[in-house]
Amino acid sequence: MDLPATADGWTAGRVDAIRDVTPTIREIAIALDRVPTCAPGSHLKVRVVADGRDDYRSYSVVGATPTGLRIAVKRQPDSRGGSAYMWTLSPGDGIAVAAPRCDFPLSHGAPHYLLLAGGVGITPMLAMAEQLARRGANLRMVYAARSDDEFAYREELTALLGERLALFAADRGEIVDIAAEIDRLPADGELYMCGPLGLMEAVRHAWEAAGRPRGNLRYETFGSSGSHPVRAFTVKVPRMNAEVLVRENESMLDALEAAGVEVVFECRRGECGLCAIRIVAADGPVDHRDVFLSARQHAENTQICACVSRVAGGSITIDPAYRGDDAFAFAGARA
Ligand code: FES
């Protein structure tokens, strides 16, 4: 499979090696002409073919190789096509990538660090743990997974961290006591978290309840896990006299774009809020999957982040013209 780099900013790479690090997480090593410098917490934007269209997805960089970079991709049953495409790749296939970008940077010199990973959220944390261990930082890692065989990089992490690593497997009935973990982190410590939305919300609440400084909590999430099963729904756009069907395997953002409804976006992960659109009405439950809007804003149901959030069947009526600069007003109001 060849995917030549054609657009500005894309670089042609090649799949060098593939390794399943759990039954559902696959590591893909990509060989590049020049190996870019990559800080822990970086993402690599990768061109994919999703739902028959050229598109892109961003994946955490797990580490470097002598010839390139390693990323890891979780196979998502509800995938819009990105993870399914990545899982079709074989060694030797062409792959186009953009320069890595770091939106989840690790600080230098904090007195204590707690790294908290859930599921595939371990992928940015591995490089963080390696760098902190190299620096001799005070570090504890808490890693929760659905089952014992879903701990990716378990051997590497155990060798690196020893007793500073705590594993929690849900199928063994092990549950992370988030409040207790925050409690054992000294007051000047920093918490880095990457995992699903529910875990992140719990961490945010516990952090606030403990009275910790907001700036010492840094997180990244993946907004694929909602509160309702994925179902097709219809988006009505009265301003354009349009109705757009959002199928089960695509996002509302992708469907609107394909229908010619312009929506500003950036992260596609429910984090930046640029794709937030005003909801005029909804006749199905709105499944908010972003981490940009606050719990209060989710309950109010007046905006939806189109990149990750959905309606669990039925229809939603939106006013896309409300977008634009208003997104920056939301940022200041964020709880
Ligand atoms: S594009 Fe960033 S939240 Fe949707």
CB 234, CB 315: distance < 8 Å: yes
Task: Count CA atoms within 13 Å of residue 166 on its CB side.
Answer: 13
Specify the pairing of strand 11-20 against strand 94-97. antiparallel
Q: Where are the alpha helices (DSSP H) in 210-308?
A: 252-258, 295-300
Give the C-alpha separation, 198 to 309, whole Å: 14
Structure tokens at 113: 């660090």
pLDDT value at residue 224? 52
Residue 272 CA: nearest ligand 1 atom is 2
Ligand 1 in reach of 252 Cβ (< 6 A)? no
The CA-based dihedral angle spanning residues 205, 207, 213, 215, taken in that order and rounded to the nearest 10 degrees: -80
Cα 45 to ligand 1 centre (Å) = 15
* Spatial CB neighbours of 81, under 8 Å, sequence gap ≥ 6: 48, 49, 50, 51, 55, 249, 250
Structure tokens at 60: 């955490």
Ligand 1 in reach of 274 Cβ (< 6 A)? yes
Ligand 1 in reach of 273 Cβ (< 6 A)? yes
Mutate to test the pocket of ligand 1, among 80, 252, 271, 309 (most ligand atoms within 8 A of CB): 271
Ligand 1 in reach of 307 Cβ (< 6 A)? yes
pLDDT value at residue 101? 85
Q: What angle do CA 62, 68, 72 make, to 5 degrees?
A: 30
Mutate to test the pocket of ligand 1, among 103, 220, 275 (most ligand atoms within 8 A of CB): 275
pLDDT value at residue 79? 60
Per-residue pLDDT for the chain (335 aa), expressed as one digit of tens each? 433 445 557 899 999 999 999 999 999 999 999 888 899 999 998 988 876 777 778 899 999 999 999 999 998 776 657 888 999 999 999 999 998 988 788 998 999 999 999 999 999 999 999 999 999 999 999 999 999 999 999 999 999 999 999 999 999 999 999 999 999 999 999 999 998 877 888 898 899 899 999 889 998 766 556 678 778 999 999 988 899 999 887 889 989 999 999 899 887 878 788 999 999 999 989 999 887 887 788 889 999 999 989 999 899 999 987 543 333 332 222 22
Ligand 1 in reach of 257 Cβ (< 6 A)? no
CB burial readout 117-132, b (16+ within 10 A) else e: bbbbbbbbbbbbbbbb
Cα 139 to ligand 1 centre (Å) = 31
Task: Count CA atoms within 13 Å of residue 20 on its CB side.
Answer: 8
pLDDT value at residue 249? 73
Ligand 1 in reach of 289 Cβ (< 6 A)? no
Residue 290 CA: nearest ligand 1 atom is 3
DSSP 127-173: HHHHHHHHHT--EEEEEEESSGGG-TTHHHHHHHHGGGEEEEEGGGT
Ligand 1 in reach of 292 Cβ (< 6 A)? yes
Mutate to test the pocket of ligand 1, among 103, 265, 330 (most ligand atoms within 8 A of CB): 265
Cα 92 to ligand 1 centre (Å) = 33
Structure tokens at 324: 């634009």
Mutate to test the pocket of ligand 1, among 57, 220, 266 (most ligand atoms within 8 A of CB): 266
pLDDT value at residue 42? 92
Q: Which amino acid is at 225?
A: S
Q: Name residue, tokens 């516990």.
A: 206
Structure tokens at 335: 């709880």
DSSP H or E segment with residue 264: none
